[in-house]
């Protein structure tokens, strides 16, 4: 599966996840543009961002409680422990950063890409370890997360294959 196919497939899936509807080309274009911009800015694979979005299954405006007492925010499920660092990076208040993470798709994806970059830097030369670190440093949690990411990648690959078949079937 090409990176472009992953981005476009993910853009459609994300648009559907965020209630944009099937005819919302402007929303799909915005999602794709945000993914590409975040990936480019932080030198991370856009396809991996798509996978993380789909594994995390967050939503705009949503805050999810974790068993450890923290919360995850928005589409990329950015953990609240990052809010202070993101606020400093964005040169804003913690409250403003929190609201942007919760309510702005592009801001949330940019922050998620930045966090992924931190994780990838922690695991040089090992993309998948970096992806696992995006979620947790705990080996058990990392393994479970990578399994989810792998399953999502295989699901997307099957969907791409089915879509190709449907386009070529008379």
Among candidate residues 140, 109, 125, the one with its CA nearest the CA of residue 41: 109
In angstroms, the CA 112 to CA 117 distance is 9
Residue 129 phi, psi (nearest 5): -65, -40
**Which of residues 17 and 64 earns the better pLDDT score?**
64
Q: Is the pLDDT of residue 5 over 80?
A: no
Task: Let me know: does 38 contact 47? Beta carbons within 8 Å.
Answer: no
Q: Is the pLDDT of residue 19 over 50?
A: no
Q: Is the pLDDT of residue 18 over 90?
A: no
Order of strands across the sheet that contains 78-79: 63-65, 71-73, 78-79
In angstroms, the CA 96 to CA 73 distance is 13
Give 137's DSSP letter: S
Q: Is the pLDDT of residue 87 over 90?
A: yes
H/E element, 63: strand 63-65
**Which of residues 63 and 12 earns the better pLDDT score?**
63
Average pLDDT, the chain: 85
Task: Let me know: does 55 contact 148? Beta carbons within 8 Å.
Answer: yes
């Amino acid at each position: 599966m090409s990176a472009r196919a992953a981005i476009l497939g993910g853009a459609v899936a994300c648009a559907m996840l965020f209630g944009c509807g099937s005819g919302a080309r402007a929303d799909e274009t915005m999602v794709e543009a945000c993914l590409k911009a975040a990936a480019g800015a932080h030198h991370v694979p856009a396809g991996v961002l798509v996978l993380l979005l789909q594994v995390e299954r967050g939503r705009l405006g949503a805050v999810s409680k974790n068993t450890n007492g923290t919360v995850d925010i928005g589409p990329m499920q950015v953990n609240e422990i990052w809010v202070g660092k993101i606020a400093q990076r964005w040169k804003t208040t913690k409250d403003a950063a929190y609201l942007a993470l919760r309510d702005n798709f592009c801001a949330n994806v940019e922050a998620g890409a930045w966090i992924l970059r931190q994780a990838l830097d922690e695991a040089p030369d090992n993309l998948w370890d970096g992806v696992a670190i995006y979620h947790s440093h705990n080996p058990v949690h990392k393994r479970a997360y990578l399994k989810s990411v792998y399953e999502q990648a295989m699901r997307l690959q099957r969907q791409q294959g089915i879509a190709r078949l449907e386009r070529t079937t008379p």
